[in-house]
Structure 1
């Protein structure tokens, strides 16, 4: 297996652009940019920058690239990265510009890169250092982990950020950005793993190693302990697989943090989802190796929370299993009993994610969490509703949903609130059990979320449906095809921002 990501050495300088020693200098630029702060650039390029803009070759549209040689500067080449219009600018666009530059640099064999923070963006220096570091590190990822005949990969070995401003804020931002970039790549690495190499047991072992390295407390519940806890929903899903299930429990308990709030993060960890007896079509079934993306996000986020010393107690719970057909597999028409005693009629074995989440939410509540967020590639219906660019948010109360939405906005993980009206519960009523595990096609993302809500008790709860956002089918300048690491930064932002929601 090849290395899939590396963290380059990152340094911050405050010197002029012409004096930065590097192979490629990245300069973000707006559509209406006069480049007054980089007045020497055009002459250093021999007039190429002005000429390209005049003839429309480079319009500075979002993530558009223009390369030019420069003379008299310590960097031999400059790449302009478009930021689009000023009115549409956000700090996430700056993050993505950094990733665009990093990917383009590596494609051209560059190992040393520098990025200029233009002070007219309106992003404060600390935040700029954070998002630029995140973006550069996220760009140092290659998911082709099992290719053996490719030429040697080019990795960014060093990245220089030209950021001026409050030195202490810049240092804090850089440290946060490095951790968030590394943990996003960790989640991408795990989601990219084939189902035969990342079985539930292997996932649990890797989670325990990550947790130990980050200073988290970790417990791994095996199938015997899961049975003792009467987690009938998880055990039901696991019955068709030769691989035994696991539940990984992670705890962040910072010294001096109050007893409450306790943030509970639950991530769906289906390491391969064939659909069970209600088997999926063969086309695109290979993508179901990423059905543990929610679990990967929770693991990576918990690692970052610990490394960044977030001032809030956090508990992560990741139920892990495969969903396979077989002679012992659970069947449509079966009735399963959950750990909290509720019974579920199984109408479709491919609606398994909500089942394992139900037992996991119950267990998180038993550990004393006060606020819940679950992350799951739960429903194709959410993809139909919101496409591949936006995560669905479901939850109660509205104030808690809004806190998670704001955290996702700061993180660059676009999300959108969806309704959870009780009327939808009529769709998954059962004649034989407390409720069924699916309500049909109509409102499928909503009924899936409301099923999970049945196990949240009276706690503030948010469900993030990342079915459309966990995997990029089409490459973009800032995102290659493959795992995205969505929700990692959202969960970390939420934990770091506890002062805004701790009393909800």
Structure 2
């Protein structure tokens, strides 16, 4: 779909549809008032008859409104004017886009971006509108034999801004949003692929295809033979029960100064997690194809970075692996020697992600990175703590943690920081090894972060637990594309290309 921004009055818009807001109780927005005057009170008469109250999310599609040059007018309920916040704005935009897509309007001019949203400017409103539009229209149809698509889908969306002075920030918002949506779509497509297609080799193939698209990207892979040479025994052990070879795919984006230290993103890529010998319950096990959500995020993020041509050096690591029960699978009670030399007692083979990540985090020391961020669907405890609304953030480096939290607020892709106090480290002590791979039930998300922290002493590091945010369950089952928006905002801020309020 194409997106544009313009500044114009509604009476001059010759479009398939004009979108205008109505507040409770039956209060016309400024644009709706202009349309009402143009139509000699046609709209206000409809509202007085009770056709639309203005409650958030209500839709009223009008055809051939008198004296209005557009074919249709879509009135959108926006709730109480003083209570319009960012969450409600995004929900309204998403429903508007879905409605337009079903009406046969192949193009539309939307004036909702002129509404006042608490604490948010034009850049934010336009960017969120584009992201919400792309998100609401996303479908995964690659494996369906019959594709039910709209006969006349929405193809062009124009967002109106109040003044011509705002056009530049609106255009920047569209540029950023399209790149973010592109990365989020890659993330969703890869994560939604079934595990009989999406295995570690598939991740490596996706990385190679990305490298073929952009001159600034080169790729490499660490296969099992190389892992054995490097002493990545922990990583290798997790994949030992699978017939699919473990592969760590490396994506190098060289957009900054030649000698500038890179920012490294490490994504957990468990393309299927059965739990191993500590096998998971059968109910919902199909969703364990999403245990590579971290790797999918990194892959999508690298697409976004390349599309934006950011002036940074970035390394993306897709830590591909599959955790299966087998006669050769690792066992509770095993003691592993990691690439760092530290030993780990396995208490639960379903706490495998940290055993893969710890070796990947040691491997990336060779880049002498400026920053390392790992992204992982690591713990069910994170879902218990934060639900599906916020990504869990842990870091021992306060400036980095604050950067990420700020980026999460700017992008409306929320994160919440959890502590990594020394007291929690005591919960993963082992009588037989340097560290146990799990603690008890208490603070499970934090103790997983504490485990990883022991392998990140040589650089500034943050851990994002996306177990609750990477995908939705139930009727709307599917990958979300998070936290691509937050991480893109983090990089925009680092590169100096972010929009200034």
| In the alignment, structure 1 residue 498 sits paired with structure 2 residue 485 | no
Change (3 A) 1:35 1:338: same
Q: Distance in 1 between matches of 2:49 and 2:426?
A: 61
Deviation of 1:342 after TM superposition, in Å, equals 1.1
Change (3 A) 1:36 1:160: closer
**Contact residue 28 and residue 97 of structure 1 kept, 8 A:** no
Deviation of 1:78 after TM superposition, in Å, equals 2.9
**Contact residue 438 and residue 447 of structure 2 kept, 8 A:** yes
**Contact residue 257 and residue 311 of structure 1 kept, 8 A:** no
The equivalent position to 1:10 in structure 2, one of 3, 19, 29, is: 3
Q: Note the 1:9-28 alignment, pairs <5 A.
A: 9-28=2-21
Give the root-mean-square deviation of aligned CA atoms: 2.6
Q: Note the 1:71-110 alignment, pairs <5 A.
A: 71=65, 72-85=67-80, 89=84, 94-110=89-105
Deviation of 1:426 after TM superposition, in Å, equals 1.5
| Partner secondary structure for residue 22 of structure 1 | coil
| Partner secondary structure for residue 58 of structure 1 | coil
Q: Distance in 2 between matches of 1:193 and 1:337?
A: 33
Change (3 A) 1:209 1:42: same
| In the alignment, structure 1 residue 207 sits paired with structure 2 residue 207 | yes
| In the alignment, structure 1 residue 67 sits paired with structure 2 residue 68 | no
Change (3 A) 1:21 1:375: farther
| Partner secondary structure for residue 433 of structure 1 | coil
The range that moved more, 242-251 or 308-317, is 308-317
Q: Distance in 2 between matches of 1:45 and 1:274?
A: 65
Deviation of 1:95 after TM superposition, in Å, equals 4.5
In structure 1, the partner of 2:33 is 39
In structure 1, the partner of 2:157 is 159
The range that moved more, 448-457 or 159-168, is 159-168
> What is the TM-score normalised by the length of structure 1?
0.89
The range that moved more, 452-461 or 165-174, is 165-174
1:13-38, Cα deviation, whole Å (9 max, x unpaired) = 32223433433333355557641243
1:181-223, Cα deviation, whole Å (9 max, x unpaired) = 1111111111111111111101210122124324422112222
Question: Which ranges of structure 2 fall in alignment gaps of 5 or more residues?
Answer: 497-501
| Partner secondary structure for residue 438 of structure 2 | coil
Q: Distance in 2 between matches of 1:404 and 1:83?
A: 31
Deviation of 1:102 after TM superposition, in Å, equals 2.0
Q: Distance in 1 between matches of 2:474 and 2:456?
A: 35
Deviation of 1:139 after TM superposition, in Å, equals 2.6
In structure 2, the partner of 1:402 is 402
**Contact residue 45 and residue 68 of structure 1 kept, 8 A:** no
The range that moved more, 117-126 or 175-184, is 117-126
Q: Distance in 2 between matches of 1:378 and 1:302?
A: 21
**Contact residue 28 and residue 118 of structure 1 kept, 8 A:** no
| Partner secondary structure for residue 241 of structure 2 | coil
Change (3 A) 1:312 1:53: farther
| Partner secondary structure for residue 173 of structure 2 | helix
In structure 1, the partner of 2:114 is 118
**Contact residue 92 and residue 131 of structure 1 kept, 8 A:** no
**Contact residue 84 and residue 116 of structure 2 kept, 8 A:** no
Q: Distance in 1 between matches of 2:351 and 2:48?
A: 53
Change (3 A) 1:180 1:326: same
**Contact residue 97 and residue 135 of structure 1 kept, 8 A:** no
**Contact residue 45 and residue 70 of structure 1 kept, 8 A:** no
| Partner secondary structure for residue 366 of structure 1 | helix
Q: Note the 1:303-382 alignment, pairs <5 A.
A: 303-382=303-382
**Contact residue 394 and residue 401 of structure 1 kept, 8 A:** yes
Q: Distance in 2 between matches of 1:463 and 1:293?
A: 14
**Contact residue 311 and residue 495 of structure 2 kept, 8 A:** no
In structure 2, the partner of 1:384 is 384
> What is the TM-score normalised by the length of structure 2?
0.89
The range that moved more, 19-28 or 267-276, is 19-28
In structure 1, the partner of 2:499 is none
Q: Distance in 2 between matches of 1:134 and 1:107?
A: 19
Larger Rg: 2
Q: Distance in 2 between matches of 1:375 and 1:18?
A: 49
Q: Distance in 1 between matches of 2:33 and 2:86?
A: 24
| Partner secondary structure for residue 292 of structure 1 | helix
**Contact residue 394 and residue 420 of structure 1 kept, 8 A:** yes
The range that moved more, 19-28 or 466-475, is 19-28
Q: Distance in 2 between matches of 1:402 and 1:54?
A: 52
| In the alignment, structure 1 residue 141 sits paired with structure 2 residue 134 | no
Change (3 A) 1:466 1:45: farther
Deviation of 1:287 after TM superposition, in Å, equals 0.7
| Partner secondary structure for residue 54 of structure 2 | coil
| Partner secondary structure for residue 295 of structure 1 | helix
Question: Which ranges of structure 1 fall in alignment gaps of 5 or more residues?
Answer: 1-7
In structure 1, the partner of 2:465 is 465
Number of residue equivalences: 487
